[in-house]
Chains A and B, each alone.
Chain A
């Protein structure tokens, strides 16, 4: 069985407020003072794929990333987690393309890599948080699509998956070659790689794919050609006007807290 996991490298979502700033020209976060990390949902996706491989055996996992040079770190980490192959689709554009373009590039790259029994993406990324790449990818590849998946089993017909819904979950049967987006659950926290695997990951080759390789014309990719582009990006002002409840003792403080809660409740 061949599994493909699409991962994305993003600005560390835990970046302290002080280190977060905006590149006004590119209209994206300035990466000078920030770490780049693998998007957590992509790690959940990889973990889900690894668990599927663990349960069925005899499978290979390819990890693909459309990103900058630095994304090699994310791919190496995926290899350390025991993905079999890694492919970096080099983004040497001056801007970060939107979800539709990203999916288009990924789809071309995936077609060049061959066919896969299941394609994984994270449900959304911790930077722009669009949550659309998986859907666009399925449309590009013209394959079935199911988002918010947190559990996958192999069946005779394809796969049985669990999808999270607003109020619970649903189980679906999906055919092979579908695209699923993975969401977090208590059993797909990314595994910790073994040290030897980390060391080995540095000896593995990462396949590099350029726009030329995919016959995509770079000059046609620019913010104006994207379907969505940022026109403004700013750090919102937050005013703090919290009233800290003070009191002689804890009991008095809790009394006041109860009063305030009842006050709001009475307006309902």
Chain B
């Protein structure tokens, strides 16, 4: 197969998170973007336990929903899941298989592509079809450049920044449902021994609408306590730059950037961080970026809507107090 799309080719969207959230909306939106162009069907594949209401939302927007019921947890049953997806893809022969962003999706995409003889790429910020081939726009060189990559072998397996894509509206006709029980086909060579969630109150970083983030300039773990107090005041989540995570000041699950989370809040308040291009790759889809930094020429300000040139030590405490009083 040398062409990845053509008239009537179908598009598969694999949804592994089990709710109808912004991420799922974006993923389906991206799928529709492609299926509208190919003229084929958009087929949603769900993994994990889905609520009926969520499936209904999905059905309204896709031509078909393949409900994959699985006994094993997503991360513990990769081999069986891959086998299921390979079988499904061989049956449907889609032009493209889309995943959302997550460590599991990142893991599966290339392996699925390999098994299907297709091509794969990740972190897609935009999708187009050109010369019947799928093209993916993504940041490269640590955010210094943008590349358009062409996937030359079909199917094109792509994991996307799902929140960066607009949601799709309902189709005139709801899609059909088909349920399959995912069997344990291959023995799992990898055994899950322990699962640990970092303590976090509130929503996940990716879903957060307000984020307070700290960088290397904080100099240690203690100032993060002040940032936490600030975040708590406005109901924001906490994030950090790679430097702060690598230093062991905060857990790695807080890391935002090229190799951390890609976030899409309404407000991203960056405190004492310079804003390396690698970090900016994680917040390109933030609606508003604001910064507190002593260096007016710090690159972070080039991406900000507003900012204050000041030592964070003089700002965070009073700011928290003022926000507290404004809330009342």
Contacts and interface: CB of A to CB of B under 8 A. Distances in A.
A and B directly contacting (CB within 8 A): yes
Interface of A: 11, 13, 15, 17, 20, 22, 27, 29, 41, 99-100, 123-124, 126-132, 135-136, 138-140, 144-148, 150, 160, 163-175, 178, 183-186, 189, 224, 226-236, 238, 240-245, 250-251, 253-255, 257-262, 264-265, 267-268
Nearest to A99: B110
Given A242-B304, A257-B308, A258-B319, A173 B147 contact: no
Interface of B: 75, 102-103, 106-107, 109-111, 113-115, 118-123, 130, 135, 139-142, 144-153, 189-198, 200, 204, 206, 209-210, 234-235, 242, 245-248, 251-253, 258-259, 261, 266-267, 269, 278, 288, 290-292, 296, 301-310, 314-315, 318-319, 322-323, 326-327
Instruction: Kindly list the 4 A-B residue pairs having the minimum CB-CB distance in the complex, ordered from nearest.
Output: A227-B119, A186-B248, A232-B148, A171-B194
A163 B253 CA distance: 12
Contacts, number: 252
Contacts of A129: 123, 139-140, 142, 258
B319 A257 contact: yes
Given A11-B141, A173-B193, A229-B152, A242 B305 contact: yes
Contacts of A227: 113, 118-120, 151-153
Contact of A262 (B200, B242, B323): B323
Nearest to B102: A166
A173 B194 CA distance: 10
B247 A167 contact: no
A123 B288 CA distance: 30
A235 B310 contact: no
Given A189-B246, A234-B146, A267 B193 contact: no
Contact of B322 (A132, A166, A241, A255): A255
The interface centre, meaning the residue of A124, A145, A229, A258 with most chain B CB atoms within 10 A of its CB, is A258
